[in-house]
Amino acid sequence: MGPQVPRFVLPASGSLPAAKEGKRGLFGIPWLGGRKAGKSGDVLPASSGGTAGDKGDEPSTGIAAFFERASVLLVLGLFACIGIGSGVYLMFFRPDPVVISPRIYSIPRPSPTFKPFVASDATSFLAALPTSDLTYGLRSAESTVMRPVTVWPSRFAEEWLLTYDDGAGVTMTVQAVQHFTLEAATSTYQHLLDVATAEAAAQAAGPSPAPAVSPSPAVSPLPAPSASASPSPTEVSGMVLGTVSVNKVEVGKSFKVIKDVTETVPDPAGGDAKEVTHQVAVVTWQNGTGVFVMTADPAVIDDLFTEYGL
């Protein structure tokens, strides 16, 4: 008797349970044109005589196949239309960018409340001097007498004392000196700087017994200049050093000092005159062959110096 072979008994119906069929579409999406397919491992009925997957690979036919392919073409066509439409719009129908103009506010510059004085038969140098500076207008222009060399270190072509006021009794003076050469103007500026440096050093050391007689260095006698001009200091106590530029080109240097000035003020009622001490600021600068000394209120002199035409 040979070896026993195990046997299996089929169900009474003669077939295995049918597996559920599914649809396998494009990219795994059932509705994007797929084929009917059974799941992996599905077993067909024994009576059919086929194997799993024989019917699962059969494509859809008829109206179902038409709609499956049409849905794919519809989606692709939609994307193509969007791309083509966007390109045409950007190339031919894109509107120009909207440019909003910047808002500009025009603030009028302060000006004098009166008509400034204009000298008749003025020299070229005097005609170039400003007749107004912010709210300050020119009241007078006086040509001073040629001073000896002990006062100014070099002989000069002309010297003017300009008096401005703001219409309310507050004054500003500018001494303008035109030199024959640039070297002479540089020597004059350096001389005034040396004198101001010595005064600032003496003031920092202690009170000086000699009273100040004038806010302008051109009015009081100045020490005799040295034969060679010393270099300008980079930092001096009590002084502010700077440069003068025209169209971003340096044309000279400047310095500012603040000092106490004692003046004799007459009594409006007719009584005895009184001596009044107050602070003034003095800015001295060089512009080419010209040397200028501005004396004004310390609170406004920076703006006046910045807006002065020279």
Q: What is the pLDDT of residues 127-145, one digit of tens each?
A: 999 999 999 999 999 987 5
Q: What is the pLDDT of residues 151-168, one digit of tens each?
A: 566 678 889 999 999 999
Please, are residues 122 and 143 in contact by the beta-carbon 8 Å criterion?
no
Q: Look at the chain and count its residues.
A: 310
The per-residue pLDDT for 152 is 62
Q: What is the DSSP letter of 214?
A: -
DSSP assignment string, 258-295: EEEEEEEE--TTS---EEEEEEEEEEEEEETTEEEEEE
The per-residue pLDDT for 215 is 42
The per-residue pLDDT for 106 is 85
The per-residue pLDDT for 130 is 94
User: CA 85 to CA 242: how far, in whole Å?
Assistant: 65
The per-residue pLDDT for 139 is 95
Write the single-letter amino acid at 184.
A
Q: What is the pLDDT of residues 23-50, one digit of tens each?
A: 545 445 454 444 444 444 444 454 444 4
Write the single-letter amino acid at 75.
V
The per-residue pLDDT for 73 is 80
CA-nearest of 86, 87, 160, 152 to 122 is 160
Residue reference for tokens 């309310």: 168
* Dihedral pair phi/psi, residue 117, rounded to 5°: -75, 135
Q: Which residues contact 58 (CB under 8 A, 6 or more apart)?
A: 35, 36
Write the single-letter amino acid at 24.
R
Residues with pLDDT less than 50, the chain: 14, 16, 18-22, 24, 26-27, 29, 31-44, 46-54, 148-150, 211-234
CA-nearest of 289, 265, 287 to 275 is 265
Please, are residues 301 and 281 in contact by the beta-carbon 8 Å criterion?
yes
DSSP assignment string, 150-189: TTSSS-EEEEEEEEEE-SSS-EEEEEEEEESSHHHHHHHH
